[in-house]
Chains A and B, each alone.
Chain A
Amino acid sequence: MKPVLRLALLAAAALAAVVLAVRVGAVPLSTREVVDGVRGMGDPTTVAIVRELRLPRAILAALVGGSLAAGGAAFQALLRNPLAEPFILGVSGGAAVGAAMAIVLAGALATSGLVSASALVGAVAAIVFVMRVGTVVGRTLDTRVLLLAGVVAGAFFNACIMLVLTFARTESFRAAIFWMMGSFAGATWRSIGGLALAAVPALLILFALARPLNLLAIGEETAAYLGVRTERVKLLAYGTASLLTAASVAASGVIGFVGLVVPHVVRMLWGPDHRFLLPASVLLGATFVVLADALARTAAAPMELPIGVVTAFVGVPFFLWLLRRRGT
């Protein structure tokens, strides 16, 4: 099958997942009602459910899932490490510190916008810190140092979170924990717009880096010998993938395993060429997270499971299977 056709099928799957996610919930809807709702026709309550609740939620889930999966693929190539994922360099830790501080310090005044903004500041601070540590002599970005710096920074941020939570009141504590588990419950067209503003250009930059990333995955020196300006590509890929991750985390909290697992699935099915891997990861990541969120909303209704629990319950067994497969 031609790669373009495969991408078209994946796009169709993502679209089907969104339709399915909008259909399920406390008020089940037919596909007809969903389509009418999107067009603003029919029963006003249905229109409100579709347009204000379920559709923005599904679209935010798709955007976040796609962004995290592409970010994971980029980090795996950049760090030359199959276990890399978007949060490996401390972005999520920085964001969580920012969000927890906003929730605990502002208390009842902590609007979702304030928490998001604070998470974004934390994430960007983490990126800048890790990048500075990883940039050794001259201007070269040493990815091994970067990895160590990211892991150490992540441990430090965890300590910060625990410190902040120690002084939190019960309701702030709960709110902070729930934020860290990730959720699309707060999805609005505004938050979608904000994320899309960052994610669309970031994804386009990563797509443009696909061929250089193919070469970087073989080895930095080999890539240089084949004509890649490795320092420029590494900095651009790191900065872009990090900001993409930061924007996703700010929008919906920390949602694990998407960024790790989805690129591996795409690679196993269709090979490691980033020209296909990156767009396919976006589409498959979007599909996966939209379906996971639909499951999170409905599995224990009226209770809502944290989305991170669902992605991990699917992701962890898969990851263990992957590890065993690699071992044999």
Chain B
Amino acid sequence: MSGWRCTGLTYRYPESSRPAVRDLSIDIPAGATTAVLGPNGSGKSTLLRLLLGVIRPSAGTVDFQDRPLATWGREALAREVGVVPQGEEAVFPMSVRDLVAMGRYPHLGAWRREGEADHRAVEDAMDRCDVRDLAARAVPTLSGGERQRARLARALAQEAPTLALDEPTAALDVAHEMAIFELLRDLAHAGRTVLLVTHNLNLAARYADRLVLLDGGRLAAEGTPAQVLTRETVERVYGWPVEIVGHPGPGPDTGAPQVVPLAGDPSIRATRPGEQGHAA
């Protein structure tokens, strides 16, 4: 069974002249971790919103689990895909436990009462994301990292086989960022499909099985991290000189391609080995 499959996917925001996503045909396999990469404004978040059905494509099709996305009801989709959206702020402060409990909505609907299974799902999700101790705290009093973990816990409480995350580690320090990526790896090993949008090329290279690199709304490259993160591709898409090195290890990521941005001065670039220098 495939995760998502899109064909000729194009989307233009109503007030924009240029499509944010154009003619994308990609597969996002089930049971794997896929990272969507690309410069600012390359259409990453738009692609994610198209895949999640909150915006409708201007052209092209999206299938989820071999069924047109449009035929999925919101509740049915929410039982399959847990989402950690980018930035959200509740108008009225609520506790972490209440926020996580909202993940049970797709199983309860407007009427059904929470049962034992629902309470267990909420507690388990809080344990996995290490927010159990924060359960009674009001969400606005949390730090950025705690807040993000609470949102991830809400997505886990959905008990959906697929997780979609939009820049889950934006504005997090290195330890919190690593903790989230490690958690995603555990979830992937437990059989979940993970789809995430991120700016962190190096962590994507280490934690994702497949990368999808976008540029100006088009597909620039896709494949394994080694296939996508080549010097030529990264420099072309990001317009910045880089060097690709192997992760020094130790650990499971040893040898994964890591992108090292160089200084902007063209004379430095010219002195790289194998470069035909014409600088002074």
User: What is the count of residue pairs linking A and B with beta-carbon distances less than 8 angstroms?
Assistant: 79
Whether B88 contacts A227 by the Cβ 8 Å rule is: no
Evaluate whether A227 and B77 lie within 8 angstroms (CB atoms) in the complex, with A212-B110, A271-B94 already known. yes
Binds A, one of B30-38, B99-107, B169-177: B99-107
Task: Determine the main DSSP class of A at the interface with B.
Answer: helix
Q: Which residues 74-107 of B have a CB within 8 angstroms of A?
A: 74-75, 77-79, 81, 83, 85, 88-95, 98-99, 102-103, 105-106
Q: Could you list which residues of chain B lie within 8 angstroms of chain A, going by C-beta atoms?
A: 14, 49, 52-54, 73-75, 77-79, 81, 83, 85, 88-95, 98-99, 102-103, 105-106, 108-111, 158
A76 CA to B14 CA in the complex, in Å? 28
Could you tell me the distance in whole angstroms from the C-beta of B153 to the nearest C-beta in chain A? 13
Instruction: Tell me if A272 is interfacial: C-beta within 8 Å of chain B.
Output: yes
Instruction: Tell me if A22 is interfacial: C-beta within 8 Å of chain B.
Output: no
Whether B85 contacts A222 by the Cβ 8 Å rule is: yes
Please list 11 pairs of residues, one from A and one from B, whose beta carbons are closer than 8 Å in the complex, sorted by A's number: A76-B91, A137-B14, A219-B85, A221-B85, A225-B81, A226-B83, A226-B106, A227-B105, A228-B74, A228-B105, A272-B94
Which residue from A211, A218, A267 sits with its C-beta under 8 Å from B110? A211
Which residue from A81, A210, A225, A228 sits with its C-beta under 8 Å from B85? A225
* Residue ID in chain B nearest A80 by CB atoms: B91
Digit string of A195-221 for contact with B (CB within 8 Å is 1, else 0)? 000000000000011111011011101
A77 CA to B52 CA in the complex, in Å? 24
A228 CA to B108 CA in the complex, in Å? 11
A137 CA to B56 CA in the complex, in Å? 12
A109 CA to B144 CA in the complex, in Å? 64
Evaluate whether A221 and B102 lie within 8 angstroms (CB atoms) in the complex, with A80-B91, A227-B74, A267-B92 already known. no
* Residue ID in chain A nearest B107 by CB atoms: A227
Which residue from A208, A212, A217 sits with its C-beta under 8 Å from B90? A217
Which residue from A137, A211, A219, A224 sits with its C-beta under 8 Å from B74? A224
With a 10 A CB-CB cut-off, give which of A224, A227, A230, A273 has the most chain B CB atoms. Answer: A227
* Residue ID in chain A nearest B94 by CB atoms: A272
Whether B74 contacts A218 by the Cβ 8 Å rule is: no
Could you tell me the distance in whole angstroms from the C-beta of A129 to the nearest C-beta in chain B? 23
Which residue from A76, A211, A230, A272 sits with its C-beta under 8 Å from B105? A211
Evaluate whether A82 and B91 lie within 8 angstroms (CB atoms) in the complex, with A219-B85, A224-B54, A226-B105 already known. yes
* Residue ID in chain B nearest A272 by CB atoms: B92
Residues of chain A within 8 A (CB-CB) of B52 are 224-225
A230 CA to B88 CA in the complex, in Å? 16
A227 CA to B99 CA in the complex, in Å? 15
Whether B54 contacts A217 by the Cβ 8 Å rule is: no
A218 CA to B77 CA in the complex, in Å? 19
Residues of chain B within 8 A (CB-CB) of A221 are 49, 54, 85, 88
Residues of chain A within 8 A (CB-CB) of B102 are 214-215, 218, 226
Residues of chain B within 8 A (CB-CB) of A273 are 94, 98
Could you tell me the distance in whole angstroms from the C-beta of B54 to the nearest C-beta in chain A? 5
* Residue ID in chain B nearest A274 by CB atoms: B92
* Residue ID in chain A nearest B89 by CB atoms: A219
Residues of chain B within 8 A (CB-CB) of A209 are 110
A82 CA to B73 CA in the complex, in Å? 31
